[in-house]
Amino acid sequence: MLQNKIYLNFFKEILKTFFLVLFGLSIIAWTVRAVNFLDLIVESGYPLSTYFQYSALNLLGILTKFIPLAFLLALIIFIVKQIQENEFIILWTTGVKKIQIVNLFLKLFLFIVFIYLFFSVFLTPIALNKSRQLLSQDKLNSFIPTIRVKQFSDSFKGFTFLVDERKKNQIKNIFLFDKSNNFKNLSRNESLNNFTTIIAADGIVKDKTMVLFNGQIISTDQNSNKNDLIKFEQLNIDLAKLETSTIKVPKLQETSTFKLISCFSKKTFLELCNENVKKEIVPILNRRIALPFYIPIITLLSCILLVRSKRIFYNKFFVFLYSFSVLLYVELIIRHTGLNSTFSKFFILFPAITFPLIYFFLLYKFKNETKLK
């Protein structure tokens, strides 16, 4: 009964450290990426509310990636702390065997694997897909954030612009180039093959409208290369029709696990499913489904700290290095699993081969310690 209470306290302490480390690492990584999100969202003319929603949805993907590393750190921190405070010695004197503690950690790994699978297989693809839909549904909020003085801006599909000066919403020396045919109505010839160039001396931007003064419209026919020139004193341009150049087609990383798996069956739910697509899907599925089964490997490697030895190879820094090397190996090889079926098979079988080897190694070491007593 007392042992069960001790084990329960162990569980609580490890999980507490795990969630703290996971949250800490994810927030650091999310903060760095949030800067890139800000450039993507705000400079594309979306409102700040879209930025916060988009970055929050992408946080789930970051959390998922850090689960194995967070568990490794939590486990090592716990074991080192218990050794330094002589907590384990009390357990050994009461008859608890070291392999029992190892088995306890392995039970905990099942919970961590469940969390990883729940996030990677279900939550993360849904969240990433929602973030993409958020960009495709939200319309241009304001043109002003997209203006970069003396820099060409291509935040919009088929539309490039440059301004020489800007003071609040007033702009000078404006150059606009449109090949998306959004402004074909400004020329005499409304052909779909027209490129429209607009040059103006001054202008005013009001959210989704641009008013230009003293300029000219040059309409170029792609077939004949003939130019049609129209001069104007004032020109009102509706910017609401512009589409951001943000990719709105769902990526494979944002596709549900069920749809990805269906690509390998006769009845697929993907619009495009050929051999090249399958090569891209394999690493994604391995990351979502096979990767969590490397967690018991790093769990057992962390348990090397329980081995009583003065050798440097059993030092906490070396143990962390062994475990981290496994995670690094996973990241390196998982990218190649789609290129070669051998890589994929080896990636899946590696935990099944390595797990019993490390487990029996620990058993052997613990038995030798008992004999020496």
Residues 130 and 179 placed together within one structural domain of the fold: no
| pTM score over 0.85 | no
Range 288-317 average pLDDT? 86
pLDDT averaged over every residue in the chain = 82
Residues 69 and 162 placed together within one structural domain of the fold: no
Residues 50 and 150 placed together within one structural domain of the fold: no
Instruction: Quote the number of domains for the chain.
Output: 2
Residues 11 and 128 placed together within one structural domain of the fold: yes
Q: Is residue 25's pLDDT more than 70?
A: yes
Residues 57 and 101 placed together within one structural domain of the fold: yes
Could you tell me the residue range of the domain that residue 300 belongs to? 2-138+249-372
CA neighbor of 246 nearest in space, from 55, 42, 4: 42
Residues 133 and 150 placed together within one structural domain of the fold: no
**pLDDT interval class at 111 (50, 70, 90):** very high
Inter-axis angle of helices 48-84 and 98-117, nearest 10: 170
Residues 279 and 354 placed together within one structural domain of the fold: yes
In a domain, 185, yes or no: yes
* Amino acid, single-letter form, for residue 245: S
In a domain, 16, yes or no: yes
In a domain, 92, yes or no: yes
Residues 41 and 91 placed together within one structural domain of the fold: yes
End-to-end CA distance of the chain: 27
Q: Is residue 356's pLDDT more than 90?
A: yes
In a domain, 243, yes or no: no
What's the Cα-to-Cα distance from 280 to each of 6, 133, 255, 276, rounded to whole Å? Answer: 46, 22, 12, 7
Residues 260 and 119 placed together within one structural domain of the fold: yes
**pLDDT interval class at 17 (50, 70, 90):** very high
In a domain, 244, yes or no: no
Checking 194-199 for CB contacts under 8 A at 24+ apart, the result is 194/219, 194/220, 194/221, 194/222, 195/219, 195/220, 195/222, 196/220, 198/174, 198/235, 198/237, 199/174, 199/175
Q: Which residue has the tokens 């958020």?
A: 134
Distance of CA 24 to the CA centre of its chain: 16
Residues 34 and 134 placed together within one structural domain of the fold: yes
Q: Is residue 268's pLDDT more than 80?
A: no
User: Each residue of 176-212: pLDDT tens digit?
Assistant: 888 777 666 666 665 556 788 888 999 988 767 788 9
**Phi and psi angles of residue 173, each rounded to the nearest 5 degrees, phi first:** 50, 75
* Amino acid, single-letter form, for residue 370: T
Residues 58 and 152 placed together within one structural domain of the fold: no
Residues 38 and 170 placed together within one structural domain of the fold: no
